[in-house]
Amino acid sequence: MRRVLEILSNWIGNALAVLLILMVLLLCLGVALRYIWGVSLLWADETLVFAMVGMVFVGAIGVSHRDQHLRMSLLTHNASRRVRRFFAIFEQIATVAVCLFVAHYSFKAVSRLSARGTLSNMAEIPLWLIQGTVLVGLVGMALVAAARLWDLLTQTRRTGGSN
Amino acid sequence: MIWTLVVLPLVMMLMGFPIFLVLLAASAATMAFTMHMPMVALQQYLFASVNAYALLALPFFIFAGELMDRGGIAQRLIELMRASMGRVPGKVPLTGITSGAVFGAITGVGAASVATLSKVMLPSLREDKYPDSYSSGLLVSAGAVGVILPPSIPMIVYAAAADESIPRLYAAGIFPGLLIVGLLCLHALWVGRRHDMPASEAFSIRRFVNAFRRGIWAAGVPVLIIGGIYGGIFSPTEAAGVACLYAFLVSWGVMRHLTLKDLLEAARTTVMFTSQIMIVIACAGVFSWLITVNQVSGQLVALIDAMALQPWVLLLAINILLLIVGCLVDPLSAILLLTPLLLPLITAVGVDPVHFGIILTVNLAIGLFTPPFGINIFVLQSLSRIDLRVIYGGILPFFAIYLLALLLVTYVPEISLFGVSLLMGN
């Protein structure tokens, strides 16, 4: 499981890095076309924003995998190892529960958009595809947390719960 | 509602849970247990909070900063700063401060400035016999100026949270940023004279021309960004995108310092950093919407009204709160958590939201280099291996300088608003 997540996280990182480079190129192309040929790419701004939204939610899986989410670790920083482990287990359970709970409603919203076939105003991109990235991000973060929870629990069992 | 909107997030935050999870759990619990509205709205607000064109500037400015750091542009700017100065006591610290300001003015990320400054400036400071405590205080505080001078990442986040204009905030940040640079330079000169520090080499026209030739492309970045935005050529988002392309072309094509592998690595780092920040923005969007519809900020305004506080007392109280929060929480999360609560209070007593954005940014810039969790401290410590106690000891005079600047910025709004009227009219 850990290996699969590792590969997936790397793949996501590389794909999103390429997406970011393409976004820069599209933005600069839009600026150049406007100033040189007086042409505006009306779909470009919307596409760029949607690409960023996708980057944020799908990229959050990578952030979870690297355990780099912003947090305030003032109290836990100086806590004993046992307390830190307890908080870590509790955190993974909360992450799985909250992300899957929100993902459930996210799935409902995305299904509705898909059934209606709603398209974006300018670029005419199916909105379920864009809003679906929220769902993907939430499920991905829940999976990473579940894998980490498994690691934490089996580690406790291996060390006889002495930590 | 108090349980789900106040107690639950507070407890989770103290337990060290990720901030996005704290906000998402509090929002989901509030909607599920205390409000009778379809839960599908949660998805809509999560999406809508980041579905904003102005926020595109954030990944692009971060990417531009990454490319400039990896591409050697920052080092050339430092060389240019150093060659521009003559024989003055405290020349090396002065170079550090001005480089921090210029580098900050092209990246908007404090920690990136500190990383570059410490790599290049620390050996020179040691060579001139400056104690490590002074050098570390100087470098971590000079790196923090970057978030006040445009383009500033915290200001983009504040603009999103407060629905303010990014160019107005950038214009308002110029003079407060320069004020802090000026105060830091005066302190460096005073230290140089008082401790009879070496004046280093005299100004040499040949060295300057060489450094200028090597750094001319690098110096084009701030001109491109600031000139582009206020010359009406680009929006801040476009300026950020063009800065990325410029930084890549200069570092790769002209300086030959950047490879395509570096480009991909810089993009990967940017993606992770962007997701890290913007997942909090998405969740904070839902949280602040719930705060608004549940009239939490309205009740706070009524409470402050009832206390009949003078505006200067309120500003003082808010500054103290922000300084404490800035020491404990990273600036971007603090902005997202506090703006929906504080903005109605502050506008109710007649403070301009743009002015408040600058007060908030200066406070949180101080948090970047104050113990226990100032990120600049850890960046310097990881790169220099200077003992944390030595760094903490050196921070005090610079903390005092920033406090003086904060008081001036807070109680003399013209310092911030003059830039807005100068560059954008009324």
Nearest Cα of chain B lies from the Cα of A105 at a distance, in angstroms, of: 5
Q: Note the pLDDT tens digit of each residue in B77-109.
A: 778 887 887 777 788 888 889 888 877 776 666
Contact A17 B267 (CB under 8 A): yes
Residues of A with Cβ-Cβ distance to B274 under 8 angstroms = 52, 55-56, 59
Residue B29 lies in a domain: no
**How far apart (Å, rounded) are the C-alpha atoms in residues A117 and B254?**
48
Contact A52 B50 (CB under 8 A): yes
Taking the model in full, what pTM does it have?
0.83
pLDDT band at A140 (very low <50, low <70, confident <90, very high): very high
Work out the number of other CB atoms within 10 angstroms of the CB of residue A88.
19
Contact A74 B25 (CB under 8 A): no
Across chain B, mean pLDDT equals 86
Q: Which residue of B has its CA nearest to A60?
A: B275
Residues 6+ apart with CB under 8 A from A53: A130, A133, A134, B47, B50, B51
Instruction: Please give the tally of structural domains in chain B.
Output: 1
Residue B415 lies in a domain: yes
C-beta of residue B369 within 8 angstroms of C-beta of residue B377: yes
What residues make up the domain containing B94? Answer: 54-424
- Contacts across the A-B interface (CB distance below 8 Å): 183
* DSSP per position, B97-146: HHHHHHHHHHH--HHHHHHHHHHHHHHHHHHTT--HHHHHHHHHHHHHGG
Work out the number of other CB atoms within 10 angstroms of the CB of residue A117.
9
Q: Give the pLDDT mean for A24-49.
A: 92
Q: Please give the ipTM for the structure prediction.
A: 0.93
- Of B61, B424, B228, B223, residue with least CA distance to A31: B228
End-to-end CA distance of chain A: 24
Q: Note the pLDDT tens digit of each residue in B184-220.
A: 999 999 988 887 776 667 778 888 888 888 888 877 8
Q: Note the pLDDT tens digit of each residue in B378-414.
A: 778 777 778 878 888 899 999 999 999 999 999 999 9
**How far apart (Å, rounded) are the C-alpha atoms in residues B287 and B340?**
9
C-beta of residue B289 within 8 angstroms of C-beta of residue B46: no
Query: What is the longest distance spanned by two Cα atoms in chain A?
Result: 71
Which runs of consecutive H residues, i.e. helices, occur in B34-90?
40-50, 57-70, 73-84
Q: Note the pLDDT tens digit of each residue in B299-326.
A: 777 777 788 788 889 899 889 988 888 7
Among B19, B244, B328, beta carbon nearest to A70 = B19
In three-state secondary structure terms, A126 is strand
Among B241, B274, B275, beta carbon nearest to A24 = B241
Residue B49 lies in a domain: no
Among A62, A91, A98, beta carbon nearest to B275 = A62
Residue B280 lies in a domain: yes
Among A24, A57, A95, beta carbon nearest to B244 = A24
**How far apart (Å, rounded) are the C-alpha atoms in residues A147 and B275?**
21
